[in-house]
């Protein structure tokens, strides 16, 4: 069974945890500084485990990452670079729902050299704004317009 570490137990994590726990091949660990939230998400599922973890506890974070097959970071984006660096160090794949910050982009070559995937912008919010942006761009092009520049503030 593959172990998936989910960092963070906020509202966005709930559907992800439920989905993964419904799959037959995953053990799901939810680590949160508020362990009661993680316990609630696991909901006594036999393939789930809740752990208390403060991301400022680097040794604890390293241990959890080292013991996992995949890390899904659902914490605020400012923590992603630290998590990504430890994933690179331990050769663990990582997924986030956040946009690619400059700091995360700068880790790209290290991740490739480590043979791991760091996949960002996976989730509902980034997906919706990307689809809406493409809809608008295609609409402009269909009407003969030309996009000179595009910036998203989402």
Cβ neighbourhood burial of 100 (10 Å; 0-12, 13-18, 19+): middle
pTM of the model: 0.82
Is residue 47 annotated as a catalytic residue, yes or no? no
Per the listing, tokens 């160090």 go with: 89
Q: Which residues pair with 32 in a beta bridge?
A: 52
Task: Please report which residue ranges of the chain form alpha helices under DSSP H.
Answer: 13-21, 35-42, 58-66, 80-90, 102-105, 108-114, 124-142
Per-residue pLDDT of the chain (154 residues; tens, 9 = 90+): 999 999 999 988 999 999 999 999 999 999 999 999 999 999 999 999 999 999 999 999 999 999 999 999 999 999 999 999 999 999 999 999 888 899 999 999 999 999 999 999 876 655 667 778 888 999 999 999 998 988 766 5
Q: Identify the active-site residue in 67, 89, 108, 125.
A: 125
């Amino acid at each position: 069974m593959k172990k998936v570490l989910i960092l963070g137990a906020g509202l966005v994590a709930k559907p992800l945890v439920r989905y993964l726990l419904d799959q037959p091949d995953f053990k799901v660990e939810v680590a949160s500084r508020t362990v009661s939230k993680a316990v609630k998400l696991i909901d006594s599922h036999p393939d789930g485990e809740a752990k208390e973890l403060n991301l400022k506890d680097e040794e604890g974070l390293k241990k959890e990452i080292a013991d996992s097959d995949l890390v899904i970071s659902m914490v605020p984006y400012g923590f992603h670079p630290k998590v990504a660096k430890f994933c690179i160090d331990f050769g663990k794949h990582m997924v986030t729902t956040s946009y690619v910050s400059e700091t995360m982009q700068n880790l790209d070559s290290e991740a490739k050299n480590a043979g791991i995937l760091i996949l960002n912008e996976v989730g509902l919010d980034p997906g919706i704004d990307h689809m809406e942006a493409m809809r608008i761009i295609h609409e402009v092009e269909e009407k003969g317009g030309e996009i000179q520049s595009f910036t998203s503030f989402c």
